[in-house]
Amino acid sequence: MSRSHHQFPAVKTLLGFTLCVAGFATTSMARETNTEGVNWPGFRGPNASGISEGHALPESWDLEESQNVQWKAPIPGLGFSCPVIWENRIFLTTAVSGKEDPQLRVGLYGDIAPVEDDTVHLFNIYALDKTTGKILWEHTSHKGVPKIKRHTKASHANSTPVTDGKYLVAFYGSEGLYCYDLDGTLLWKKDLGVLDSGFYVVKDAQWGFASSPVIYKDKVLIQCDVQENSFLAAFNLKDGAEIWRTGREEVPTWSTPTIYEGKDRTQMIVNGFKHIGSYDVSTGEEIWKLVGGGDIPVPTPIIAHGHTFITNAHGRMAPMYAISLDAKGTISTDGDGKALSWLHARGGAYMQTPLAYGDLLYSCTDGGVLTCYEAKTGVRAYKKRLGGGRLGFTASPVAGDGKIYFTSETGEIFVIPTGTEFDILSRNSMDEVCMATPAISAGTLFVRTQNHLVALKNGATSKN
């Protein structure tokens, strides 16, 4: 195993003690929202972990032969938000263009020009039956010409909704923030103005909006890093009243915040370029700050082993950071190892949120290069490529039952086993473009393709 990572003077001392308090707090939060591996309440499931345990998951499937396919439901429009699940209901959003065939281009390329589509769009939200795929209800949250253009790999419904089992919050960027009950009744909505998360170097390159809302107890939390006047905000979940708003000196980002419930206070941890950081959920007050990294931050921070793992990769830097959950103040990359336990200066990912599964950390680039680290030390276990270098990867990995699922943009899903030895258990085609991160509930893998939502489960043979 390589030891090419940057180790700080105090890192060996830090690694000598267990971080059970932080681990317990994170686990207790997950239990509240993922009873027996059923609920998948927001982006990447409970606290963005990407993990659902307690049930056997399919290793392979065949859509044409309906092997391990429970159902396949058509979903109108173009939406790359992820499905979320509460008990027996699945919720997802989409944007229906006035064009019959909206432009979509996947793969590895560098074209920054946005899609030209000034037709009226329907910004829709759906509830489906988890067992059958039947649509239970649908509503149009907003109807109009999008205020911001989108990237050729994006949709106008990128942000994943979030639920706590009573409220359901959907975010369409410039088209507003909406809160429903689980039967589809609109409870409140907020117009947050134009939110332009385009390329800060070429401001005409509008790319839409992608950060997803987060629910913590009685609050809805959002990250709006945009071309001008970036901010974080907390709203009352019951009525949408603004609780606090904190300005950020930050370029546009596409990352979703992560919540960490500590002993003394709860943190809202965010990715960034000028300002990776942590904020107090109660007040919006900054707790710690780290400057630097890739200049188009996309991956969501994740929490494991007493640390938050944060990565980004664009421009001159592609770091992977392991930051202590006890950090305070300004963190330096040349520090003493107390706040920043380890980093890899060139070990980061551009699009995918990493996955901490057991004692290992998995990170995959948009070109399919998968790196496995020992999470506590940063020591690299292996570095291998998925797909031969020609496939693009945007969806983030999810895992359970000792299996990790990596979804390519062309719809090929690689299933690998957890562990320090690389292997590919299977490669499975979804027969359509896949940009959204899958969801897992009670032994079923839910994969959103360009035109469908598909339920995959061991032993299923339905042909609907």
Give pLDDT tens digits for 280-304: 999 999 999 999 889 999 999 999 9
Maximum average pLDDT range among 136-145, 341-350, 388-397: 136-145
The dihedral over CA atoms of 93, 27, 340, 371, expressed in degrees to the nearest 10, equals: -60
SS3 36: helix
If you ran DSSP here, which 8-state letter would residue 436 be given?
Answer: S
- On the question of pLDDT at 464 being above 80, the answer is no
For range 214-223, the mean pLDDT: 98
Element (H or E) spanning 359, and its range? none
Find all residues with CB under 8 Å of 425, minimum gap 6, and list them: 59, 60, 403, 415, 416, 417
pLDDT at 2: 34
SS3 68: coil
Neighbours of 143 (CB within 10 A): 12
CA dist 72 and 234 (Å) reads 37
Does some domain include residue 464?
no
Does some domain include residue 463?
no
CA dist 464 and 456 (Å) reads 13
Find all residues with CB under 8 Å of 57, minimum gap 6, and list them: 400, 401, 403, 440, 443, 445, 458
CA dist 182 and 250 (Å) reads 35
Does some domain include residue 1?
no
Each residue of 363-392: pLDDT tens digit? 999 999 999 999 999 999 999 999 888 899
Instruction: Please tell me the total count of domains within the chain.
Output: 1
Confidence label for 35 from pLDDT (cuts 50, 70 and 90): low
SS3 7: strand
The CA-atom distances, in angstroms, between 38 and each of 46, 88, 220 are: 10, 9, 22
CA dist 454 and 83 (Å) reads 11
- On the question of pLDDT at 7 being above 80, the answer is no
Neighbours of 174 (CB within 10 A): 20
Does some domain include residue 201?
yes
Does some domain include residue 137?
yes
Phi then psi for 296, rounded to 5 degrees? -130, 80
Does some domain include residue 192?
yes
pLDDT at 18: 30
pLDDT at 316: 86
The CATH number of the domain where 13 resides is what? 2.130.10.10
- On the question of pLDDT at 15 being above 80, the answer is no
Q: What b/e string do you get for 175-186 counting C-beta neighbours within 10 Å, with b at 16 or more?
A: bbbbbbebeeee
Q: Are 45 and 421 in contact (CB under 8 A)?
A: no
Find all residues with CB under 8 Å of 17, minimum gap 6, and list them: none
SS3 270: strand
Q: From the centroid of its chain, how far is CA 48?
A: 7
pLDDT at 101: 87
pLDDT at 25: 38
CA dist 77 and 451 (Å) reads 7
Identify which of 80, 13, 85 has the alpha carbon closest to the alpha carbon of residue 42. 85
pLDDT at 19: 31
CA dist 241 and 218 (Å) reads 11
Phi then psi for 91, rounded to 5 degrees? -125, 140
Residues 106, 361, 363: CA angle, nearest 5 degrees: 20
If you ran DSSP here, which 8-state letter would residue 459 be given?
Answer: T
Q: In whole angstroms, how large is the CA radius of gyration of the chain? A: 20
For residues 444 and 22, the model is more confident at 444
Please provide the average confidence, as pLDDT, over all residues in the chain: 91
For range 241-249, the mean pLDDT: 98
Does some domain include residue 305?
yes
Each residue of 321-334: pLDDT tens digit? 999 999 999 999 88
Identify which of 429, 294, 260, 278 has the alpha carbon closest to the alpha carbon of residue 363. 294
Structure tokens given for 386: 């998925």
pLDDT at 347: 86
Element (H or E) spanning 28, and its range? helix 20-33
Element (H or E) spanning 180, and its range? strand 177-181
Phi then psi for 317, rounded to 5 degrees? -125, 150
Identify which of 222, 238, 315, 304 has the alpha carbon closest to the alpha carbon of residue 274. 315
Q: Are 406 and 416 in contact (CB under 8 A)?
A: yes
Structure tokens given for 68: 């391990």
The residue range of the domain holding 427 is: 6-457
Does some domain include residue 78?
yes
Confidence label for 336 from pLDDT (cuts 50, 70 and 90): low
